[in-house]
Chains A and B, each alone.
Chain A
Amino acid sequence: MAGQDFRTCPTTGLKVHLPAENLIKANAVAAVLLLLIGGIAAAGVALTRWPAIHLLPADWFYRILTLHGLAMLIAWIIFFEIAALYMGASVLLNSRLAAPKVGWLAFLLMVVGVLLIAVMVLWGQADVMFTSYPPLKANPLYYLGVILFAVGALIGCLLFFATLYKARKEGTYPHGSFPLVTFGLACAAMIAISTLIHGAAIYIPAFLWSLGFMGMDPAAYRLVWWALGHSSQQINVAAMISVWYLMGTLTVGMKPINQKLCRTAFVLYVLFINVASEHHLLVDPAISNAHKIWNTGYVMHLAVLASMIHALAVPAGIEVALRKKGYTSGLFEWLKKAPWSNPGFSATALSIFIFGFMGGITGVTFGSEQVNITAHNTWRITGHFHSTVVGGTTLAFMGATYYILPLIFRREVLGMGWAKLQPWFYGIGMILMAGGMMLAGAYGIPRRHWDIVNFGGSPFAFTWDPTVYMWLSVFGIGALLAVVGGAIYILVTVGTVFFGRKLE
């Protein structure tokens, strides 16, 4: 075993495999670059949907909205998750990455895939939105881009499992049990593999359909597509909660209060969270009510139970750790004295709050049979998933970045004063933005709509309940705050990677 392939981390004492570290860096850099692209698109979309500004023309609005969805939901999050997987398997277990070259192949496929997607969308060859529902058709190269990206991500997941196997075989860690974070990430990777297989089951037929080799039934497409679309968000949930445990430990030295409980909750995710994808089809033809109720009801609540367990375990673990530091007076001294000026901690705390209270509760509600009649395709849905995947997952990943920069990139975070403010801008912005979306959506404001004021001059144009405009303004102000928070994040990260003081 060549010793020069490793360095020892002075903070954690972990042995870091240098080829693994390079791959983590590459995937993290790609993630942040795509967050930048997705963020610029987000600003364009938000400033157009805010009627006070209505920035972009219709064609560019729909194009940029498609780009925003793909850059954020696919590229930024999955690149970051692949980086997290390599870290969980290699760094946390003191192990070498099983096959770095395969890791680079996966990275290459993902980069080529995302470039193909971006070029097709910006070239106007794929004005089909994130969901690309047939009969809307994109250029075949668009579907090919998604397939290449997914194959790359699948290889990344397999490399993660190969590394776990190697670490175990070589005995790089004390005994059979993984650290909780690695365990959670393994659950995320299992969900990812099942998700990506569903992705193949819909994007390969869609690719062939776009080439004219086969027909495509709109209802069947929706059914299979959502087996991908719904469960891909569950990868984010499992990865985000793993990051919560990681950040709890890094920021306040938290220990899981009961390993049995936390790990069982992760297993519940693997077993049960992938069902319930018919949430998205509750007001569709072609599927019977009995099947919809069965699919969205039967074991889904065991996955929600898992979230309830984490909702206790993570804050309780943080509380115990802070009380051990001596903040024991009264019920809430620990909360007051928590390291709120540490961006890693504040981002995690805000992520827990936004995901749990705004995202989780609305998700379970909007996914119930009758409520869905009033929520389907309105802005309530968009508000819901911005609470889960942006206020939750993205914010948690941002918080983790403030530790990845010193620990993996070995650079001191540049502009720490700005970094301290960043999660607050982003988190509060997201609360206002997603809240505004959900409340405007409750009045029927549709998602994916360019002009809710004049309806592009339609003779049937009408006016909304005036309350809607207040929520639209709350949305707009929130979006601006979030854009500022996102910009600070990107400036701090890029600045640190290039100009931060080097650490040993």
Chain B
Amino acid sequence: MSISVPDKVWWKPIDKEEKIWLFLAIIWMAISFLWMPIYHFIGKQNPSNESYRVTREQWDTLTDDFIKKYQVKDASGNLVTMNDIPVVHPPAGSDVYLEGRAWKWWPVLELEKGKTYRVHLSAVDFQHGLSIYPLNINYMALPGYDYIITMTPTTSGEFPILCNEFCGIGHHTMVGKLIVK
């Protein structure tokens, strides 16, 4: 009985059936244990390993300069925005900046298909969660940290970016956009 005191000597040999199960379970665990690090080397998509501390002032300077330099202009030379958010077309293969703030993803990035970018991800007020639909790629954006994700868009189109970390009462309105040309 599980609720009564066992025999005085309960350290008894394990039966054959249990031994088989135990053996299979250990093999399975060994595979699981090894597979995660192995896949880190043979797999093509891993969580990013590069991040830096960044102060609010440093981050603001970086993003302001980035947007000033690369904001898209229309035929008559006016700066292009989308729902009051600047649209930015950085040069292929450069460092790009994406900021989570209550409750916008700032700016709208325009990237080129097949080119590799270093996307700097951070947040300025609360913690935000980058979630790109429909690929379902999710990374955390934390204030004080510059998280660098190396990304090569392979499909052109417009991709919504959700916030999936609760960031206050307007959290659900926080939708941004990523454009791949």
Question: A residues touching B (Cβ–Cβ < 8 Å)?
Answer: 12, 58-59, 62, 92, 127-129, 133-136, 173-175, 177-181, 217-219, 222, 245-246, 248-250, 253-261, 263, 282-286, 288-289, 292-293, 296-298, 301-302, 304-305, 308-309, 312-313, 316-317, 364, 368-370, 372-378, 442-444, 446-452, 455-462, 464-465
In the assembled complex, how far is the CB of residue A31 from the closest CB belonging to chain B, in whole angstroms?
A: 21
A136 to B140 Cα, complex, angstroms: 15
Q: Report yes or no: B131 in contact with A377, Cβ–Cβ below 8 A.
A: yes
In the assembled complex, how far is the CB of residue A77 from the closest CB belonging to chain B, in whole angstroms?
A: 21
Q: Report yes or no: B177 in contact with A460, Cβ–Cβ below 8 A.
A: yes
Q: Report yes or no: A258 in contact with B168, Cβ–Cβ below 8 A.
A: no
Contacts of B175 in A (CB 8 A): 455, 458, 460-462
Q: Report yes or no: B144 in contact with A447, Cβ–Cβ below 8 A.
A: no
Q: Report yes or no: A446 in contact with B37, Cβ–Cβ below 8 A.
A: no
Given known A218-B142, A305-B26, A444-B131, contact A456–B170 (CB-CB < 8 A): yes
Question: B residues touching A (Cβ–Cβ < 8 Å)?
Answer: 1-6, 8, 10-12, 14-15, 17-18, 21-22, 25-26, 28-30, 32-33, 35-37, 39-40, 43, 45-49, 51, 83, 121, 125-127, 129, 131, 133-134, 136-140, 142-147, 160, 162-177
A465 to B169 Cα, complex, angstroms: 26
In the assembled complex, how far is the CB of residue A123 from the closest CB belonging to chain B, in whole angstroms?
A: 15
A317 to B162 Cα, complex, angstroms: 48
Q: Report yes or no: B14 in contact with A258, Cβ–Cβ below 8 A.
A: yes
What 8 pairs across the A-B complex have the smallest Cβ distances?
A: A285-B51, A446-B164, A285-B147, A245-B2, A259-B10, A308-B25, A456-B173, A460-B175
A110 to B163 Cα, complex, angstroms: 35
Among B4, B33, B160, B172, which residue has its beta carbon within 8 angstroms of that of A297?
Answer: B33
Closest to B138 in A: A376
Contacts of A135 in B (CB 8 A): 125-127, 143
Contacts of A288 in B (CB 8 A): 49
In the assembled complex, how far is the CB of residue B139 from the closest CB belonging to chain A, in whole angstroms?
A: 5
Q: Given A62-B169, A460-B175, A462-B160, 6 more contacts at CB 8 Å?
A: A133-B126, A180-B2, A250-B3, A285-B147, A369-B47, A457-B173
Among B29, B35, B36, which residue has its beta carbon within 8 angstroms of that of A305?
Answer: B29
A246 to B46 Cα, complex, angstroms: 43
Among B12, B25, B144, which residue has its beta carbon within 8 angstroms of that of A258?
Answer: B12
Q: Report yes or no: B164 in contact with A458, Cβ–Cβ below 8 A.
A: no
A444 to B132 Cα, complex, angstroms: 8
**A contact patch SS:** loop
Q: Report yes or no: B140 in contact with A301, Cβ–Cβ below 8 A.
A: no
Among B5, B15, B28, which residue has its beta carbon within 8 angstroms of that of A177?
Answer: B5
Q: Report yes or no: B129 in contact with A219, Cβ–Cβ below 8 A.
A: no
Q: Report yes or no: B25 in contact with A374, Cβ–Cβ below 8 A.
A: no
Q: Report yes or no: B176 in contact with A460, Cβ–Cβ below 8 A.
A: yes
Q: Report yes or no: A179 in contact with B29, Cβ–Cβ below 8 A.
A: no
Q: Report yes or no: A257 in contact with B18, Cβ–Cβ below 8 A.
A: yes
Q: Report yes or no: B1 in contact with A285, Cβ–Cβ below 8 A.
A: no
Among B48, B126, B129, which residue has its beta carbon within 8 angstroms of that of A377?
Answer: B129
Given known A260-B11, A368-B36, A369-B40, contact A173–B171 (CB-CB < 8 A): no
Contacts of A374 in B (CB 8 A): 136-138
Q: Report yes or no: B140 in contact with A289, Cβ–Cβ below 8 A.
A: no
Q: Report yes or no: B8 in contact with A179, Cβ–Cβ below 8 A.
A: no
| Pairs A–B under 8 Å by Cβ, sample size 8 | A127-B169, A133-B126, A260-B14, A285-B121, A368-B36, A448-B171, A455-B173, A460-B175
A373 to B30 Cα, complex, angstroms: 23
In the assembled complex, how far is the CB of residue A245 from the closest CB belonging to chain B, in whole angstroms?
A: 4
A443 to B164 Cα, complex, angstroms: 13
In the assembled complex, how far is the CB of residue A21 from the closest CB belonging to chain B, in whole angstroms?
A: 16
Contacts of A128 in B (CB 8 A): 166
Closest to A379 in B: B164
In the assembled complex, how far is the CB of residue A132 from the closest CB belonging to chain B, in whole angstroms?
A: 10
Given known A260-B12, A449-B171, A460-B160, contact A285–B83 (CB-CB < 8 A): no
Among B22, B127, B133, B145, which residue has its beta carbon within 8 angstroms of that of A133?
Answer: B127
